Amino acid sequence: MNRVTIFSICASAGFLLYILEMVRRRKLREEYSILWLFGSAVILVLSLKKDWLDGLAHTVGIVYPPSFLFLVGILFILLILIHFSIAISKLHQMNKKMAQEIALMKEKTMGGTPGDPSIGP
Amino acid sequence: MEIQPDSPIVIIPAYQEERSIGRLVRSLRERYPYDVLVVNDGSTDRTSETAREAGAIVLDLPCNLGIGGAVQTGFLYARNRGYDVVVRIDGDGQHEVEDIPKVLEPILAGRADAVIGSRFLGETEYRGSIPRIFGIRFFRLLVNVTTGYRVTDPTSGFFAINRRLVAFYSDHYPSDYPEVDAYILMRRLKARTVEVPVRMYVRTEGKSSITAFRAVYYMVKVTLSYLINCIRRFG
């Protein structure tokens, strides 16, 4: 095994363990860990099985197999970022609804009382 | 508070409008028997107190949601409390309070679902800046081509809508710059829209929500949001 293979294996295995640990400690929700776990597992497998990497790279017409690894990595990062944008949009929507509900409820419970010191920013 | 059938409510979204909101609410309360609702969009000044003292119902949003989110809060209130007609005007004194009956009349007569006050119909004294006029022309073209409505003032925030649109907007109202987008929603609902001439003034206090710096961003964003609304499903 050459040095780059060893490095790649260590890095992806370490990353995989780190994600698992974060999920175990409940610092990362399972929902958000799936893509990370899947991505690091794929990269780990491709680092271990060099002939699979070569075969796959060849199939899609990439001459230099390690760049296939980069491609896979970048695609996962893109997927994860899109996933985050969606999650943020969802949170944004929920946040808006909650703010609206709070405003409506405050009016209902304290309506008419002037100068209510609202929750500061 | 007893709500009469066909009772309108005037909704005013307000952010940092302490200098103009009191006068506006008072002049509305003096002239009309309608409830006045100020949606305070997370202002840090005395907008909320001033509006309340002037006789408005006030909804205080805990954080700044932007104009669309604030107006939608007003629609939710109107829907929950069973108001039949909503008039929406700006909180900065841009819109002429005396023109409210003109905006209400076609709805109360059952001739329209939405009445939009246009600063360009009839004799107009409106003088906007060149980028603003350009933006308005651009959106006018966009709306007219895609909806078939004949619109002269697509960014007007002075309008009245009936119960059906209030209910729909309570669930689906665009967040940032909602007026242009609203035309797509109205088209989807096959709403009958009418424009009436109203007077608008250049702002007396505070700053417009659209600064020159943001004009391009505004146009791109509204266009994108508008085109996406054309192909979106509303459940």
**Three-class DSSP labels, chain B:** CCCCCCCEEEEEEECCCHHHHHHHHHHHHHHCCCEEEEEECCCCCCHHHHHHHCCCEEEECCCCCCHHHHHHHHHHHHHHHCCCEEEECCCCCCECHHHHHHHHHHHHCCCCCEEEEECCCCCCCCCCCHHHHHHHHHHHHHHHHHHCCCCCCCCCCCEEEEHHHHHHHHHCCCCCCHHHHHHHHHHHCCCCEEEEECCECCCCCCCCCCCHHHHHHHHHHHHHHHHHHHCCCCC
Q: Average pLDDT in the A49-76 region? A: 88
CB contact (8 A) between residue B80 and residue A118: no
- The single-letter code of the amino acid at A54 is D
Q: How far is residue B98 from each of residues B43, B93, B102, measured CA to CA in Å? A: 27, 12, 8
For the ranges A40-44, B20-24, B51-55, which has the lowest average pLDDT?
Answer: A40-44
* pLDDT for B18: 93
Interface size between A and B, measured as CB pairs under 8 A: 52
Q: Which fold has domain B8-230?
A: Spore Coat Polysaccharide Biosynthesis Protein SpsA; Chain A (3.90.550)
List chain B residues with CB under 8 Å of A118: 40, 48, 60, 62
Contact B39, B70 (CB under 8 A): yes
Q: Which residues of B105-119 are buried (b: 16+ CB within 10 A; e: fewer)?
A: ebbbeeebbbbbbbb
- The single-letter code of the amino acid at B106 is P
Count CB-CB contacts under 10 A for residue B151: 22
* pLDDT for B213: 67
Count CB-CB contacts under 10 A for residue B74: 28
* pLDDT for B201: 85
Per domain, the residue ranges of chain B are 8-230
Q: Average pLDDT in the B75-102 region? A: 94
**Closest residue on chain A to B42 (Cα):** A121
Chain B contacts in chain A segment 82-121 (CB below 8 A):
96, 99-100, 102-104, 106-107, 111, 114-116, 118-119, 121
Rounded CA-CA distance B15/B209 in Å is: 9
Residue A119: pLDDT band with limits 50, 70, 90: very low
Residue A111: pLDDT band with limits 50, 70, 90: low
Rounded CA-CA distance B79/B98 in Å is: 25
* pLDDT for A101: 94
* pLDDT for A117: 46
Tell me phi and psi for residue B86, to 5 degrees. -115, 130
List chain B residues with CB under 8 Å of A100: 61, 65, 69, 72-73, 76
Residue B208: pLDDT band with limits 50, 70, 90: low
CB contact (8 A) between residue A121 and residue B39: no
* pLDDT for B125: 67
List chain B residues with CB under 8 Å of A104: 59, 73, 76-77, 80
* pLDDT for B136: 86
Residue B29: pLDDT band with limits 50, 70, 90: very high
Tell me phi and psi for residue B225, to 5 degrees. -60, -40
* pLDDT for B112: 95
Does the pLDDT at position A97 exceed 90? yes
Q: Average pLDDT in the A24-50 region? A: 88
List chain B residues with CB under 8 Å of A117: none
CB-CB: which of A100, A107, A116 is closest to B57? Answer: A107
* pLDDT for A72: 87
Q: To the nearest whole angstrom, how far is the Cα of B157 from the nearest Cα of chain A?
A: 20
Mean pLDDT, chain B, whole residue set: 88
Cα angle A99-B184-B118, degrees, rounded to a multiple of 5: 90
- Looking at this predicted complex, what is its ipTM? 0.81
Q: Average pLDDT in the B172-177 region? A: 84
Q: Average pLDDT in the A10-36 region? A: 90
Residue count (chain B)? 235
CA atoms within 13 A on the CB side of B68: 19
Q: Average pLDDT in the B155-181 region? A: 91
% of chain A with per-residue pLDDT over 90: 38
Q: Average pLDDT in the B98-125 region? A: 90
* pLDDT for A116: 45
DSSP letter assigned to residue A28: S
* SS3 at position A120: coil
Does the pLDDT at position B2 exceed 60? no
* SS3 at position A52: helix
Does the pLDDT at position B27 exceed 80? yes
CB contact (8 A) between residue B59 and residue A119: no
Q: Average pLDDT in the A69-80 region? A: 89
Residue A30: pLDDT band with limits 50, 70, 90: confident
CB-CB: which of A96, A116, A118 is closest to B69? Answer: A96
Rounded CA-CA distance B57/A104 in Å is: 11
For the ranges A27-41, B60-74, B108-122, B208-222, which has the lowest average pLDDT?
Answer: B208-222
Q: How far is C-alpha B185 from the geometric centre of its chain's CA atoms?
A: 15
Count CB-CB contacts under 10 A for residue A81: 10
Write down the H helix ranges in chain A. 3-24, 30-48, 50-59, 65-110
* pLDDT for B5: 52
